[in-house]
Amino acid sequence: MKSLITLDGREYEVEVHRQVAISPDSPRLVVVSNLRNSSAVSLLDACLDSIERFTPEPHEVWVIDNNSPRGNVRRLLERPEINVALNRTEPLPPEARAQDVSCPPDQLNWGRYANAVGLELAARLIDPATRYFMSMHMDTLVCRSGWMSFLKGKLRNGTAAAGVRMDRTRTPEGVLHVLGYMVDFALFQELNLDFFPQLPEFDVGDLVTVKLREAGFGVFACPNTVWEPDLVQGIPDCSPLKTLHVDRAFDDDGNVIFLHLGRGIRRSTGEHRNGTSVEEWLLVAENLISASGQS
């Protein structure tokens, strides 16, 4: 099915391949992708494999792909457990559309905006009665069964969003990082929230936290090694996650439930710059998933 969706004054042509449709009470897990190279394809595969392995609860996965080469998205359409929306229009903010250049700018210049466009497309494609919307970066892994129920269980008693990491680089109070947070979608719609950044003050998805607080609601963030490096000491020495140089988020019992590779991957080429390499990350993903299948 093809749809035309207007966002921020630009019309997006989207091909929707829906293979899973369940109750709106079940969370929608939304992964925005831009698959420019083989490393990006492998990262997304690992993310989706981890969701499939460690999320036994009912859910829908939506991959919103932003104008990747056709050959790189073909395998997505072969996965029966996910819904795929192929956005065939390059996401560009208004200031980029006005530029008179022979070679138009693309997502290498406007990655944040493109990510927001993907999330906004998802918000218009999922069932409007959906209760829980979760944004996820494609360089993430879920690594323990029950992770989704844990986050969903935090959305009660006035808490309207729960995420795997709180960032305080932009506001003293902190905002949930869009790499992985679940929000009450009915409230999201009621308050007319959106994921668009307002740089330099607010990045993608930051204003969701800000406006929820302004409306009197709370947010929850998992303990995360980015801000609490001493948490690593609680990870068993035998675990490969102890020495993995990535974000690690924990549940209330001290179990690692979510991983984020983060910065260090050059978007255009997939080249590794620092920290954990893509190859190391993919090996960890493979080992986690295979070990879970044997237990």
pTM of the model: 0.93
CATH architecture of 2-294: Alpha-Beta Complex (3.90)
pLDDT of residue 265: 38
Q: Domains of the chain: which residue ranges?
A: 2-294
Number of residues assigned to the chain: 295
Each as own residue / partner, the long-range contacts of residues 75-83 (CB below 8 Å, 24 or more positions apart, any chain) are 75/41, 75/45, 76/44, 77/17, 79/48, 80/19, 81/19, 81/20, 81/48, 81/52, 82/19, 82/20, 82/48, 83/16, 83/17, 83/18, 83/19, 83/20
Average pLDDT of span 250-277: 72
Which residue from 22, 8, 24 is spatially nearest to 184, judged by alpha carbons?
24
pLDDT of residue 126: 99
Q: How confident is the model at residue 97 (pLDDT cuts 50, 70, 90)?
A: confident
pLDDT (tens digit per residue) in 165-199:
999 888 889 999 999 999 999 999 999 999 999 98
pLDDT at 47 over 50: yes
For the chain, give me the number of helices (H) and strands (E)? 8, 14
**β-sheet bridge partners, residue 156:** none
pLDDT (tens digit per residue) in 230-253:
999 999 999 999 999 999 999 999
Who has greater pLDDT, 161 or 264? Answer: 161
pLDDT of residue 109: 63
Average pLDDT of span 246-271: 77
pLDDT of residue 108: 59
